[in-house]
């Protein structure tokens, strides 16, 4: 089975004349259509908002597109908060969901008026000491422990996760937060990652809705929102059936009307914090075949490496590969597709059946729009690549330039030791 790229070979051949490979390419049309579909799927809930997980694709141009659909930002660090603030997101549109949080990050989130989502019971006192008070609106992350199961088996093991309050802690935490001045509350949970099933959000919602009724009854707190977080995945392999966000939204609605409405909690807002679902299919890594190697296996070396997309290297994750212009040719060659890092795990594919690859062929590595560029690093002195937006009219816009050696050495600029260093960009 195959995946169809959102860009044609002819388009790519023109794009690479302007932006040398490798680079990440994003599909504006797909991003917009998906954001619209998410908003419509939850339109039954007047307070609904998607807080895009900035960690997935931290680019101001992407945030600006999503902002047009009333998306907010889910931030987990100081720089993500700064990025959201720089693009004009107000406090109500910023959710700060962090863990093991430094004091200065709580301070900045509070200055922005962001909704702070506490990860741990001990953070109640830590937050109060850090900012001098408990905000009027506060959220807590819940971890039910145990194993999270659905009809298709075990999905994840929350009991082994470092995140969230236990059941007893969140009840006690709400009581303490209320005593300390909190007036409006939210509940947040993330129980499974990259689920490719329409069951996940509705089942999570039922669990949280029942918890919220219990919290209201035992603490008397005014609970205003329930954050389903992320976990809605994408079909990385071509044989998987994509999630249907409209079916998911309807499933959450049914649980809402069955549990919350009869309990007198029908005014609660539903929030989501999706990153992968919002962006992954609408970005790809474009790279070029530059070497071939014939030893104990057949290797194709490309000019991208795990620096550009590390998921296959660290997770063994599958990312589909299209050899542009050879979509209809038989996949009768078995290759390891590799990068140039001094690490044997630096492979985009292992024993992958592909058409015959010739040097200079352009390869599209699919579903790299989330947790792709953002997980990049500089091992071996490799430089991060550019990000390019394929606009709806077919034109392109550079939305992040590629790093240069000057960028790599920038943190030495307070010393004289490298002042006479020579490299290709210095004349």
Can you give the residue ranges of every domain in the chain? Answer: 28-274, 281-405
* pLDDT > 80? residue 190: yes
**Direct distance between the N- and C-terminal alpha carbons of the chain, in angstroms, rounded to an integer:** 50
The per-residue pLDDT for 349 is 98
**What pLDDT sits at residue 377?**
94
Output the six-digit token pair for 81: 């908060």
**Concatenated DSSP letters of 93-145:** GEEEE-SS--HHHHHHHHHHTPEEEE-STTHHHHHHHHHSS--SEEEEEB---
Quote the pTM value.
0.94
User: Once rounded to an integer, what is the mean pLDDT over residues 153-173?
Assistant: 81
Answer yes or no: is pLDDT of 407 > 80.
yes
Q: What percent of the chain has pLDDT over 90?
A: 89
> What integer pLDDT is reported at residue 265 of this predicted model?
98
Q: For 29-35, what is the mean pLDDT?
A: 98
Q: For domain 28-274, give the CATH number.
A: 3.20.20.10
The catalytic position among 73, 75, 342, 345 is 342
What pLDDT does residue 117 have? 98
Mean pLDDT of 337-349: 97
Give the per-residue pLDDT at 275: 96
What pLDDT is stored for residue 427 in this prediction? 39
CA-based nearest residue to 141, from 174, 179, 105: 174
The pLDDT, as a whole number, for residue 80 is 98
Stretch (H or E) spanning 204: helix 200-219
Q: What is the pLDDT of residues 42-64, one digit of tens each?
A: 999 999 999 999 999 999 999 99
Residue 140 pLDDT exceeds 50: yes
Average pLDDT of the residues in 264-284: 98
Active site residue 342: yes
pLDDT at 149 over 90: no
pLDDT of residue 420: 65
Q: Report whether pLDDT(197) > 80.
A: yes
The reported pLDDT for the residue numbered 359 is: 98
Main-chain phi, psi angles of 21, to 5 degrees: -70, 155
The pLDDT value recorded for residue 160 is 73
Q: Give 168: exposed, middle or buried? Use CB within 10 Å, 0-12, 13-18, 19+.
A: exposed
Q: How confident is the model at residue 150 (pLDDT cuts 50, 70, 90)?
A: low
With both helix axes pointing from N to C terminus, report the angle between 245-255 and 28-41 in degrees, rounded to the nearest 10. Answer: 20
Q: Among the listed ranges 99-113, 243-257, 321-335, 404-418, which one has the minimum average pLDDT value?
A: 404-418
Distance CA 221, CA 243 (A): 34
Tell me the average pLDDT across 300-327.
Answer: 96
Whole-number pLDDT of residue 154: 45
Name the DSSP letter for residue 57: -
- How much is the pLDDT for 148? 63
Q: Identify the burial level of 306 via C-beta atoms within 10 angstroms of its C-beta, where 0-12 means exposed, 13-18 middle and 19 or more buried.
A: buried
pLDDT of residue 157: 67
pLDDT of residue 419: 66
Type and span of the H or E element at 274: none
Average pLDDT over residues 239-259: 97
Whether 425 has a pLDDT exceeding 60, the answer reads no
Question: Which tokens hold the place of 385?
Answer: 């690549």
Q: How far is Cα 245 from Cα 370, in angstroms, rounded to an integer?
A: 18
pLDDT value at residue 426: 43
Q: What local confidence, expressed as pLDDT, does residue 158 receive? A: 72
Average pLDDT in the chain: 94
CATH architecture assignment, domain 281-405: Beta Barrel (2.40)
Least confident among 66-75, 142-151, 329-338, 403-412: 142-151
Q: What percent of the chain has pLDDT over 70?
A: 95
The answer on pLDDT for 106 being more than 50 is: yes
């Amino acid at each position: 089975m195959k995946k169809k790229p959102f860009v044609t070979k002819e388009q790519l051949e023109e794009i690479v004349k302007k932006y040398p490979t490798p680079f990440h390419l994003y599909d504006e049309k797909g991003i917009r259509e998906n954001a619209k579909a998410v908003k419509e799927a939850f339109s039954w809930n007047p307070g609904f908002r998607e807080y895009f997980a900035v960690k997935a694709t931290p680019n101001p141009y992407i945030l600006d597109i999503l902002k047009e659909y009333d998306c907010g930002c889910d931030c987990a660090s100081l720089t993500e908060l700064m990025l959201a603030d720089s693009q004009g997101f107000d406090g109500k549109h910023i959710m700060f969901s962090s863990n093991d949080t430094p004091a200065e990050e709580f301070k900045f989130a509070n200055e922005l008026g962001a909704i702070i989502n506490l990860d741990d019971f001990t953070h109640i006192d830590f937050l109060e000491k850090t900012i001098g008070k408990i905000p009027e609106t506060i959220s807590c992350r819940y971890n039910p422990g145990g194993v999270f199961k659905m009809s298709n088996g075990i999905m994840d093991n929350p009991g082994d996760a470092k995140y969230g309050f236990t059941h007893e802690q969140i009840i006690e935490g709400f009581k303490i937060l209320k005593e300390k001045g909190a007036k409006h509350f939210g509940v947040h949970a993330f129980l499974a990652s990259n689920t490719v099933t329409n069951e996940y959000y509705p089942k999570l919602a039922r669990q949280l809705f029942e918890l919220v009724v219990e919290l209201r009854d035992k603490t008397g707190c005014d609970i205003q929102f329930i954050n389903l977080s992320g976990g809605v995945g994408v079909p990385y392999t071509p044989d998987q059936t994509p999630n249907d966000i409209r079916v998911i939204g309807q499933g959450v609605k049914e649980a809402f009307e069955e549990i919350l409405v009869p309990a007198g909690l029908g005014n609660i807002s539903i929030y989501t914090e999706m990153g992968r679902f919002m962006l992954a299919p609408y970005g790809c890594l474009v790279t070029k075949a530059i070497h071939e190697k014939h030893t104990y296996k057949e290797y194709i070396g490309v000019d991208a490496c795990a620096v550009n997309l590390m998921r296959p290297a660290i997770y063994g994750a599958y990312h589909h590969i299209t050899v542009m212009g050879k979509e209809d040719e038989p996949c009768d060659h078995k290759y390891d597709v590799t990068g140039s890092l001094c690490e044997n795990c630096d492979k985009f594919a292992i024993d992958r059946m592909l058409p015959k690859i010739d040097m200079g062929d352009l390869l599209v590595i699919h579903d790299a729009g989330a947790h792709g560029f953002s997980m990049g690093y500089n091992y071996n002195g490799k430089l991060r690549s550019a990000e390019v937006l394929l606009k709806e009219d077919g034109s392109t816009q550079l939305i992040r330039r590629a790093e240069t050696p000057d960028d790599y050495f920038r943190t030495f600029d307070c010393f004289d030791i490298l002042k006479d260093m020579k490299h290709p960009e210095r004349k």
